[in-house]
Amino acid sequence: MKELLKEAKKIKSLEIQGASNVATSAIQFLSDYAHRVGKNLTPKELYEKLIEAREVLVQTRVTEPALRNGLNFILNKVEKNVSTHSINEILEIISKGNEEFKFVIKNAKQKIAEIGARRIPDVTTDNEFCIMTHCHSSVVNAILLEAKQQGKDNFKVIATETRPFYQGRKTVKKLLDAGIEVIHVVDSAMRWAVNHHEVDLILIGADSITSEGTIINKIGSRLLALVAHEEHVPFYVASTLLKYNPQTSFGILEKIEMRDPKEIWEDAPERLTVLNPAFETVSRRYIDGLITEAGIFAPSFVNFYFYKLYPELVENKS
């Protein structure tokens, strides 16, 4: 468990960033843990250890359903076979489940990239098609890079800095490396940028999606959604359905992670309260559509498409 706690700290400290990276890292840590402790245990004993390990990993990032779905993907497979298979067979099931879930994520992102790229026109005009995004989303990046690879050169991107860890700079660097024109602005310049650069499309990622179609993403996302609503700019959210939280169908509210205030101001004056909310909600009323591996649809249909594509991810109740 000591080694697992050390690995979990990499997620907690944001050494590992991005919902997809967090999810794949967590299931890898779970698999590694199983192989470290499992060989001298019975299948049932290992299953109980994995439940404890899951809770350790879940607590690293409370607003990450992709992480929880990945861990449940593995645990559900173990639970179904724990009474009928040997410990070596269970360990093999965990290893295969680990690789299978990683493939599912990779395949989902590729489908989203292909679908989302179709929202970027390929007709050359005098005015560049302008897309704005916030923070760093590997799914959003995949869409933009796919469009570029398809030969769509007549678009530019406005990207925010994203305080306090400047994840927006990751987006900027990746897009610049691909030859895409980028404009960089501070978070508080969102509205100004939309007003002054004739933004045609706003595209952000998501860390979580609820049964009501509300998305949770990096703080500042709702502000950008309100700007889109005010300026009549189409607002889309690109996300794999693996970021859907099935527990919200049963009345459980998704938690908003509050980060360490020292991330904002390490040596803040005494008696000062510093708040550091990492995420915020964006209501479905401001979202024109979710771009997912199942296609583009209204946010209210997320529950239907999640269970259609991933019935095996029914929440593990153990």
Which residues are part of the catalytic machinery?
135, 207
Q: Tokens representing 73?
A: 């993907």
Helix (H), strand (E), coil (C) string for 206-223:
CCEECCCCCEEEECCHHH
Q: Which two tokens stand for residue 178?
A: 């691909």
DSSP output for 84-143 = TS-HHHHHHHHHHHHHHHHHHHHHHHHHHHHHHHTTS--S--SSPEEEEE-S--HHHHHH
**The tokens of 206 are what?**
């998501």
**Residue linked to tokens 């040596």:** 267
d(CA 52, CA 157): 43
- For residues 263 and 271, the answer to whether their CB atoms sit within 8 Å is no
